[in-house]
C-alpha cells in the first residue's frame, strides 16, 4: 500500500490510472478502523481496479469540540488492517491540505430538507461538514466510485444527492450493508469508548430495531415509535435522542400508508457519553 499526504502526489498516479481506463474505488474514513470499514475496502477491491482509503478526522463535521477531541486516533493499527485488506492507496492529509483556502470558506449545496432532519436536527452543521469533506476528498482522489456504510444511512443519502448537484454525477455511490457484532451491535469506531455495561445496554438499540421490524401494527408509524420510546424508558442509562420510522428514500414521514419495504427505522442514543446510531429497513 502506498501512502500519500498530498493531493498532488496521489493525483499523479490516479490521473494516469484514469487515462488507462481504470476505475478507482474510494472509502473515506476518520480512522479507528474496524471490520465495517474493511468490508468497504473489500467491496472497493471487488468492484474497482484500485482502492483508495482516506483517514482524515474532519473538523468541520463535529458540532461539539469535545466529540472531535475524543475521536480515537489509531493510525499504525489502521495501516496494518488496510495492508491486510490489500488496499492500494492511503491518503493521510493534513487539515491545510484538505482545506487550502480555510475550512470555513464553504457554502454547502442545496440538497433539500434531508440535511435538517434526524441527524441533521440533532447535530447542527454536521451534514454540511460531511458534504464539504466528501466532495473535496472525491476531487483529491479522482475516484470513480464511492463506498459508504449504511450504518450512516442518512449520510449515504446526503452524499449521493450531493454528488449529483456538485458536478460529480459520474461518481457511482455504493451503500454497503451494516456490519454487526455477533450480539447484533452495529460496528462503530465509537464502540471502544463504551464500558462493559454500556456495551450490554447498547444491544437494546439493535434489539428494538429488530422488534420494530417484526411488529405488525399495520405500519402504524406513530405506534411503532411510541412503543420504542416506552421500551427505552425502561433503561435510564440510555438517553434516547430519536427513534423514528420514515420513508427509506426521502427520510420523510410517509403521507399515506406506505408499504413496509419502503420504511426504515432509525435510532440515535447516548450511552456512557457515547453517541450511537443504527437503523433497519422494515421489510
- Cα gap 201→94, rounded to integer Å: 37
Active site residue 174: no
- Cα gap 247→259, rounded to integer Å: 9
Task: Choose the catalytic residue: 34, 37, 126, 174.
Answer: 37
Q: What part of residues 119-138 is at the interface with ligand PAF (CB under 6 A)? A: 130, 133-134
For residue 6, give every residue at least 6 positions away whose Cβ sits within 8 Å of its Cβ, in sequence order, or none. 93, 97
Which residue's C-alpha cell is 408499504? 259
Smaller CB distance to ligand PAF: residue 61 or 279? Answer: 61
Give all strands (DSSP E) within 154-223, no chain letters: 172-176
Q: How many residues bind ligand PAF (CB under 6 A)?
A: 10
Write each residue from 51 to 70 as x if it is in contact with ligand PAF (CB under 6 A), else as -, in one continuous string.
-------x--x---------
Cβ 66 to ligand PAF, closest distance in Å?
A: 17
Q: Which DSSP symbol is given to 182?
A: T
Q: Does residue 173 interact with ligand PAF by CB under 6 A?
A: no
Smaller CB distance to ligand PAF: residue 138 or 263? Answer: 138
- Cα gap 12→31, rounded to integer Å: 24
Q: Does residue 152 interact with ligand PAF by CB under 6 A?
A: yes
Query: Beta strand 2-4 with 89-91: parallel, antiparallel or unpaired?
Result: parallel
Q: Which DSSP symbol is given to 179?
A: P
Q: Does residue 244 interact with ligand PAF by CB under 6 A?
A: no
Q: What part of residues 3-42 is at the interface with ligand PAF (CB under 6 A)? A: 28-30
Interacting residues with ligand PAF (CB under 6 A): 28-30, 58, 61, 130, 133-134, 152, 155
Amino acid at each position: 500500500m502506498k501512502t500519500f499526504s498530498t493531493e498532488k502526489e496521489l493525483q499523479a498516479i490516479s490521473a494516469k490510472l484514469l487515462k488507462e481506463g481504470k476505475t478507482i474505488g474510494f472509502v473515506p474514513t476518520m480512522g479507528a478502523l474496524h471490520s465495517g470499514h474493511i468490508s468497504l475496502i473489500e467491496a472497493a477491491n471487488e468492484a474497482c481496479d484500485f482502492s483508495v482509503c482516506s483517514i482524515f478526522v474532519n473538523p468541520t463535521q463535529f458540532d461539539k469540540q469535545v466529540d472531535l477531541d475524543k475521536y480515537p486516533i489509531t493510525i499504525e493499527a489502521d495501516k496494518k488492517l488496510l495492508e491486510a485488506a490489500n488496499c492500494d492507496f492511503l491518503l493521510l492529509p493534513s487539515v491545510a491540505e484538505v482545506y487550502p483556502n480555510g475550512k470555513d470558506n464553504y457554502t454547502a449545496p442545496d440538497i433539500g430538507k434531508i440535511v435538517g432532519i434526524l441527524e441533521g436536527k440533532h447535530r447542527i452543521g454536521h451534514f454540511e461538514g460531511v458534504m464539504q469533506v466528501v466532495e473535496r476528498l472525491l476531487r483529491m482522489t479522482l475516484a470513480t466510485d464511492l463506498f459508504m456504510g449504511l450504518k450512516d444511512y442518512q449520510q449515504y443519502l446526503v452524499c449521493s444527492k450531493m454528488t449529483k448537484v456538485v458536478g460529480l454525477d459520474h461518481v457511482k455511490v455504493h451503500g454497503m450493508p451494516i456490519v454487526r457484532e455477533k450480539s447484533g451491535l452495529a460496528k462503530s469506531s465509537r464502540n471502544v469508548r463504551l464500558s462493559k455495561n454500556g456495551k450490554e445496554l447498547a444491544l437494546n438499540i439493535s434489539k428494538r430495531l429488530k422488534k420494530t421490524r417484526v411488529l405488525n401494527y399495520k405500519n402504524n408509524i406513530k405506534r411503532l415509535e411510541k412503543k420504542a420510546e416506552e421500551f427505552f424508558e425502561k433503561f435510564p442509562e440510555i438517553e434516547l435522542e430519536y427513534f423514528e420510522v420514515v420513508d427509506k428514500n426521502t427520510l420523510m414521514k410517509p403521507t399515506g400508508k406506505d408499504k413496509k419495504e419502503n420504511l426504515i427505522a432509525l435510532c440515535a442514543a447516548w450511552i456512557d457519553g457515547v453517541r450511537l446510531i443504527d437503523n433497519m429497513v422494515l421489510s
